[in-house]
Structure 1
Amino acid sequence: MMEDRKVYLDKHSNLLQLEEHMYPLVDVEKPNVFRNLFHYDEIPKIAFNDRIVPHSMPDEIWITDTTFRDGQQSRAPYSTEQIVTMYDYFHRLSGPKGKIRQCEFFLYSGKDRDAVYKCLERGYEFPEVTSWIRASRKDFELVKEIGLKETGILVSCSDYHIFYKLKMTRREAMEHYLSVIRECLETGIRPRCHLEDITRSDIYGFVIPFCLELMHLMEEYKIPIKIRVCDTMGYGVNYPGAVIPRSVPGIIYGLRVHAGVPSSLIEFHGHNDFYKAVSNSTTAWLYGASGVNCSLFGIGERTGNTPLEAMVFEYAQIRGTLDGMDTTAITELAEYYEKEIGYRVPSRTPFVGRNFNVTRAGIHADGLLKNEEIYNIFDTEKFLNRPALVAVSNTSGLAGIAHWINTYYRLRKDEQVDKSSELVAMVKAWVDREYEDGRVTVLTDEELTGVIETACKQLGICLK
C-alpha cells in the first residue's frame, strides 16, 4: 500500500521521493520479443508514450575503451606491439585526470596475455587494464593469476538470447548468471556485467529484478558490481518520451532509480547500426551513466561501436572543458593506424578523416581564407594538429593555392609561400590547364603533391 512506502531524500535532486515498489522477476512461458516493435520483415518501430524521465548528469563522467576486445572482433588481430603502442596513446589522451578510465582485453591467446602483461608493466593508473572472459571458474582464475582487478562477464538479458540461444527460462538464466557472478566475487574480482541486447529486453520483467539481485550481492560481498548497458543491435534511441526497451533515458533511469545502481557503476556500450551510437552515448551520460564504452574510430562488430574520439569531444562540449585530455594524440593515433596497421580511415570521418576539415566549395573557400572560423568547426590546428585546408579547384586562385601549400606541408611562417611565388604560379598554370581541358572536379591531394614535387625539382627548392 502507498502509505507503507518510505519517503526519502534523493541526494542528487535534493527532493523528497516516494520509495518505489519492488520489481520481482516476471517468469514467462513464451519469450517476449516485442514483435510489435521488432517485426523482422519490417523496419523496427520507434513508439512513444510521452513518459519523460529527468536528466541526472553524474558528478563525474568518463570514457572506457573496447578497442582491444569488441574492436578486435571485426578485424584481424593486432600484434602485441601494436596493442602496447595504442595503449600508450590512450594513456596520453586520457590526461592527468584519467578520463579514459579503462581498456578491456581478451585473455585467450598467448599473444593476448603477452599484450596484457606488457601494458601492465607500463604502470599507468589510467587506463586500467581489465578483461573480458567467458563465465567460467577457469577463466576467473586466469584473471586472478594475471593480477587484474575487474573483468567483464556476458549476461545476455533479452528473451531472444535467453530463450533462443541459451534455451533457458528467465528464472533459469537469472539463477545461472547469479551463480557465475558469485563465483567471480569469491575470487575477489570486480565483475562487470555485460547486459547484452538490453534494448530488446523486458526491462521491468527481467533487467531490473536481475540488477536488484546484483546490488544485493554487492552489499553481501562489499565488492562493486558494474552494469554495462549493451545496446548490442543499435536499437536504442535518445528521444524524450520513447518507450522502453528502446529508450536509453528510460533504461538508465530504471537502473539508477528502480534497481538502485549508482551512476558510477553504470556504463553504456552502443553500436551504430542506426547511426545513433554517439547520440545515445551522450544521452546515457545526461541521464545518469558515468561511463560510456567506446572503440577507436568506432571499429567494432558490424557497423561498429561508439567512436572513442567522438566522445572525447562530446565530453568537452557538455562539460565545457577537456579536463586535461591531450587531443593531439587522436591525430597521431590516426596516422599510426594508417601507416603501421594499414587501415585507411574514411576521408570524411569526423576529427580523423583526411578531409574532415577541408573546404571544397569555392564560395566557402573564399570565406575560410578570409577567416577560418567561418567554415572550421573549432581551432583544429590547436586541438588536433590539423590546420584547416581549402581544396584546390579552378576558383582557388593564386592565394588559395598558396594557402593549400602552406597548410598541407605545415610550413612555418618564415618558410611559407605567397601568391607571388614562382612555385605557386607554376601550380596555378597546371591547374588552369586541367580545367581548360574540361575538368569539373576538385583536385586530389595526390595530384597536387605530384605537380608540386615536379615544380620544386625544376626550381631547385625543397618544401620541408
Structure 2
Amino acid sequence: MKELPELYREQFPYSAPPRILFDGIEVPAALPSDIFITDTTFRDGQQARPPYTVKQIETLFDFLHRLSGPRGVIRQSEFFLYTKKDRDAAYACMEKGYLFPEVTSWIRAVKQDFALVKEMGIKETGILTSISDYHIHLKLGMSREQAMKQYLDVVTAALEAGIRPRCHLEDITRADMKGMVIPFVRKLVELSEESGIPVKVRLCDTMGLGVSYPGAMLPRSVPRIIHCLRTETGITSDLLEWHGHNDFYKVLTNAATAWLYGVGGINGTLLGFGERTGNTPIEALLIEYMGLTGDTSVDTTIITEIAEYFARELNYQVPPMTPFIGSQINVTSAGIHADGVVKNEEIYNIFDTGALLNRPLGVHVTDKAGSAGVAFWVNQRLGLGGDERIDKRHEGIQRMTVWVAEQYKDGRTTSLSDVELLVAAKEYLPEFFEGESEAAAGEATGTDTLLP
C-alpha cells in the first residue's frame, strides 16, 4: 500500500491562512549556557538580491569577523560552491585565517556535490535533508524510507572523509516529529557517536510557520520541536541550530524562542536578506544575544558601518523604519517627544544609540516639532548639552519656531532640511552661528546624513 503524505490539513488548509491550534501541552525552557550565531549571508542571503562580487563578499566577511567580537559570537558563515565565483569567494575568505567565523559550505544530499567540499578542504558542510512530506512526497517523489536512506548515505560519506556534516531539516514546521524527524535525528546521533565526529542539525522553518505560543500544537510549536529533539534523541544544544524565515513576521521571536528552549545556534543574514520575506537579521540577533547573556564585548557600532556599506556600495536603501539601522530609529518628529528628549534622552530612546550604534539622537523639524523640537535641533547642531543648552523659551528659538510654522501654511508635508534650518538659525540666533556655512549643515545633526 502506498504511503500517504501527512500534510496537516487542519493546520494548513491552503485556501485560508494557516491555523494556530492548541492542545495545552507546555514544555520547560532550557536556555543553553553557550548560545551563538551563524551566518548564511552568502548562501540564503544571495537568493534574494543581486549576487555579491568576490570583493564585496570579502568586505562583508571582514565585517562579520569584526562583529563576532573577542568571543566569536558569530561562529560560522556558509557558502555556495557551485560556480567559480562561489569557490573564489570561499577561498578568499578562508585565506584570511580568521578563527571566527569559520567558512562552511552547503550542498544537496547527493554524492557528486560532496566531492566539491572535499576538493575545497572545507571542514564542515551543510546538507539539504528536506524533512516534511510536502518536500519528501510532493517535491522529491520519494517515500520517507527512501529519503532517509539517501540522506544517511551522504552523511556517512562525509563522516568517512572526516568532514563534519550539518543536516538542514528543511520545512520542519510542517513535518511529522514522531514519524520522521525524531527517527532521523536518532540515526544522526548514532552516526555521530560511532564516528566520534559531531553531526549538527539545523532546524529550518522554511515557510516561517513556527509559533512561540505556550500550548500550541506540533508541528508549528517551536518550543515543542526543540524539547522533543533534546529529550527523545539525545542531541545536545551545541549541535542544534535554528534557521527561520519571516513570512508571518515571527522570525526574530521564533529565533529567540529557539534559544530559550535549548538551541545553541541561530542562523541569520546581514540585514535579514533571504528568500521571500528574508531570514533573521544578524544585527537583531546580536542585540537579542546581548540582552539574553549580558555580554557587551561586541562593538555594536559596526552594525551602522555595515548598513552604511550596503547603502553606499551596494545601492540598497534601508527602509527608514528598520530597527537598529533605519534612519528613523531614534529621530523624533513630535514636539512633546522632543521636549522629553531635551529633559532626558532615555525617555524616548531605546538605549544609548550614540554610544552603541554611533547614531546620536535626531529630530525632524516640522510644524509638529514645536519650540522643543527646534531647540533640540539647534542644541544638537551646536553640540550643546547640560546647562549650556539653549532653552526652548529663548527669544531666538521662539522666533525660529514661528518661522517653521509659516513654512507649512501652503500645505508642505516634508520635514525641513538641515540646510534650511541652518539658514533660519543664522537669522534668528546669529550670535551662535557666526562663521557657519550652509554646506556644513548636514555634518553634525545626523537627521539627513545617516542612512538614506
Give TM-score scaled by structure 2 length. 0.89
Structure 1 residue 283: Cα displacement: 0.5
Q: Is 2:16 the partner of 1:45?
A: no
Determine the structure 1 residue equivalent to 2:418. Answer: 449
User: Following the alignment from structure 2 to structure 1, what is the Cα–Cα distance between the partners of residues 399 and 155?
Assistant: 70
Moved more, 359-368 or 325-334: 359-368
Listed as ranges, the matches of 1:381-396 within 5 Å are 381-396=354-369
Determine the structure 1 residue equivalent to 2:177. Answer: 203
User: Following the alignment from structure 2 to structure 1, what is the Cα–Cα distance between the partners of residues 266 and 277?
Assistant: 18
- Give the aligned residue type for 2:84: G
- Give the aligned residue type for 2:211: V
User: Following the alignment from structure 2 to structure 1, what is the Cα–Cα distance between the partners of residues 326 and 377?
Assistant: 17
- 1:45-82: CA deviation from partner (whole Å, max 9, x where unpaired): 11111111111111100011111111100110011111
Q: Is 2:206 the partner of 1:237?
A: no
Alignment match of 1:369 (pick from 326, 342, 367):
342
Determine the structure 2 residue equivalent to 1:139. Answer: 113
Using a 3 Å threshold, how does the CA distance of structure 1 residues 86 and 33 change in structure 2: closer, same or farther? same
Q: Is 2:318 the partner of 1:345?
A: yes
Alignment match of 2:306 (pick from 328, 333, 337):
333
Structure 1 residue 400: Cα displacement: 2.6
Using a 3 Å threshold, how does the CA distance of structure 1 residues 432 and 363 change in structure 2: closer, same or farther? same
- 1:410-464: CA deviation from partner (whole Å, max 9, x where unpaired): 9587xx995799997997565232123344x4x43xx413425767999752435
Q: Is 2:241 the partner of 1:267?
A: yes
Q: Is 2:154 the partner of 1:185?
A: no
Determine the structure 1 residue equivalent to 2:66. Answer: 92
User: Following the alignment from structure 2 to structure 1, what is the Cα–Cα distance between the partners of residues 426 and 157?
Assistant: 70
Listed as ranges, the matches of 1:406-417 within 5 Å are 407=380
Structure 1 residue 91: Cα displacement: 1.0
User: Following the alignment from structure 2 to structure 1, what is the Cα–Cα distance between the partners of residues 30 and 61?
Assistant: 31
Listed as ranges, the matches of 1:273-312 within 5 Å are 273-312=247-286
Using a 3 Å threshold, how does the CA distance of structure 1 residues 159 and 332 change in structure 2: closer, same or farther? same
Determine the structure 1 residue equivalent to 2:431. Answer: none
User: Following the alignment from structure 1 to structure 2, what is the Cα–Cα distance between the partners of residues 285 and 28?
Assistant: 39
Using a 3 Å threshold, how does the CA distance of structure 1 residues 267 and 461 change in structure 2: closer, same or farther? same
3-state secondary structure, aligned to 1:82: helix
Determine the structure 2 residue equivalent to 1:172. Answer: 146
3-state secondary structure, aligned to 1:436: coil
Runs of 4+ off more than 4 Å: 409-413, 416-430, 452-460
Alignment match of 1:114 (pick from 88, 97, 100):
88
- 1:348-398: CA deviation from partner (whole Å, max 9, x where unpaired): 000000001112222122111211111111111111011122221224345
3-state secondary structure, aligned to 1:165: coil
Structure 1 residue 406: Cα displacement: 5.6
- Give the aligned residue type for 1:377: I
Alignment match of 2:195 (pick from 221, 240, 244):
221
Alignment match of 2:407 (pick from 434, 441, 448):
434
User: Following the alignment from structure 1 to structure 2, what is the Cα–Cα distance between the partners of residues 83 and 385?
Assistant: 24
3-state secondary structure, aligned to 1:83: helix
Give me the CA root mean square deviation.
2.5
Structure 1 residue 121: Cα displacement: 1.7
User: Following the alignment from structure 1 to structure 2, what is the Cα–Cα distance between the partners of residues 73 and 124?
Assistant: 25
Determine the structure 1 residue equivalent to 2:168. Answer: 194
Using a 3 Å threshold, how does the CA distance of structure 1 residues 405 and 220 change in structure 2: closer, same or farther? farther
Moved more, 334-343 or 127-136: 127-136
Alignment match of 1:124 (pick from 78, 84, 98):
98
Using a 3 Å threshold, how does the CA distance of structure 1 residues 332 and 338 change in structure 2: closer, same or farther? same
Structure 1 residue 145: Cα displacement: 2.3
User: Following the alignment from structure 2 to structure 1, what is the Cα–Cα distance between the partners of residues 16 and 97?
Assistant: 51
Using a 3 Å threshold, how does the CA distance of structure 1 residues 427 and 192 change in structure 2: closer, same or farther? farther
Q: Are the counterparts in 2 of residues 140 and 187 from structure 1 also a CA contact under 8 Å?
A: no
- 1:239-274: CA deviation from partner (whole Å, max 9, x where unpaired): 111111000001001111101111000000011111
3-state secondary structure, aligned to 1:269: strand
Using a 3 Å threshold, how does the CA distance of structure 1 residues 169 and 356 change in structure 2: closer, same or farther? same
User: Following the alignment from structure 1 to structure 2, what is the Cα–Cα distance between the partners of residues 103 and 363?
Assistant: 45
Determine the structure 1 residue equivalent to 2:294. Answer: 320
Q: Are the counterparts in 2 of residues 191 and 225 from structure 1 also a CA contact under 8 Å?
A: yes
Q: Are the counterparts in 2 of residues 427 and 451 from structure 1 also a CA contact under 8 Å?
A: no
Q: Are the counterparts in 2 of residues 423 and 455 from structure 1 also a CA contact under 8 Å?
A: no
- Give the aligned residue type for 1:181: V
